[in-house]
């Protein structure tokens, strides 16, 4: 069986606005719950709360991504993800040295791989909660619609219609102003 890992994906630009630092598309990712160890969710900034609630951590940038996609990875790519995360654990999260950080990074990448027991190209989202003093995570998946042979993910589909069939929408702004209470 092929090794699979989560990789950050950006379907729209929203990650750049909702997180203090967005992950770059295409980074290997881990859950990132460890980044909130000891945090009090109510005391986090709004962007940090968003990362807490719904972010995956990119191992290279240590930025956040709302979604990841399951992709096959080579042993060398997995080792690279572990090493990048280990270096980040030392530089940004206070790990005492690279040896300790590598052990923690190995565990994080192994957990991330366990989330990828799905076909390649499956999207995964996380919902993180703080319950009874512990961080709880729930993961959801979205797969392409095989019945249409569709391999893309679209939140909205547009179709063309004749103008005659489109509903007429007209707003009387002056009329609304007259009705507004003073």
In a domain, 159, yes or no: no
pLDDT tier at 41, thresholds 50, 70, 90 = confident
In a domain, 11, yes or no: yes
Enter the pTM of the model: 0.79
Q: Which residues contact 130 (CB under 8 A, 6 or more apart)?
A: 41, 52, 136
Residue 36: give the domain boundaries.
4-148
At 147 the pLDDT is 54
At 36 the pLDDT is 95
CA atoms within 13 A on the CB side of 76: 0
pLDDT digits (tens, 9 = 90+) for 18-34: 999 999 999 999 999 99
In a domain, 96, yes or no: yes
- Does pLDDT of 42 surpass 60? yes
Strand ranges inside the chain, DSSP E: 4-9, 29-30, 56-58, 64-65, 67-72, 123-131, 134-142
pLDDT digits (tens, 9 = 90+) for 123-181: 999 999 999 889 999 999 987 666 555 555 554 443 343 444 444 444 454 454 454 44
pLDDT digits (tens, 9 = 90+) for 70-106: 999 999 999 999 999 999 999 999 999 999 999 999 9
At 151 the pLDDT is 53
In a domain, 153, yes or no: no
Q: Count structural domains, the chain.
A: 1
């Amino acid at each position: 069986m092929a090794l699979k890992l989560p990789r950050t994906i950006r379907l729209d630009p929203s990650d750049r606005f909702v997180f203090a630092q967005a992950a770059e598309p295409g980074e290997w990712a881990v859950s990132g719950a460890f980044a909130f160890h000891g945090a009090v969710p109510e005391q986090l900034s709004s962007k940090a709360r968003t990362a807490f609630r719904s972010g995956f951590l990119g191992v290279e940038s240590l930025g956040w991504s709302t979604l990841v996609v399951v992709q096959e990875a080579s042993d060398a790519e997995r080792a690279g993800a572990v090493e990048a995360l280990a270096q980040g654990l030392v530089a940004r999260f206070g790990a005492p040295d690279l040896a300790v950080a590598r052990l923690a990074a190995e565990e994080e990448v192994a957990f991330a791989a366990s989330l990828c027991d799905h076909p390649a190209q499956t999207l995964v989202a996380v919902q993180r909660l703080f319950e009874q003093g512990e961080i709880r995570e729930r993961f959801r998946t979205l797969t392409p619609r095989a019945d249409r042979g569709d391999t893309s993910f679209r939140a909205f589909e547009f179709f063309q219609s004749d103008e005659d069939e489109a509903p007429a929408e007209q707003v009387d702004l002056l009329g609304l102003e007259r009705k507004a209470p003073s």
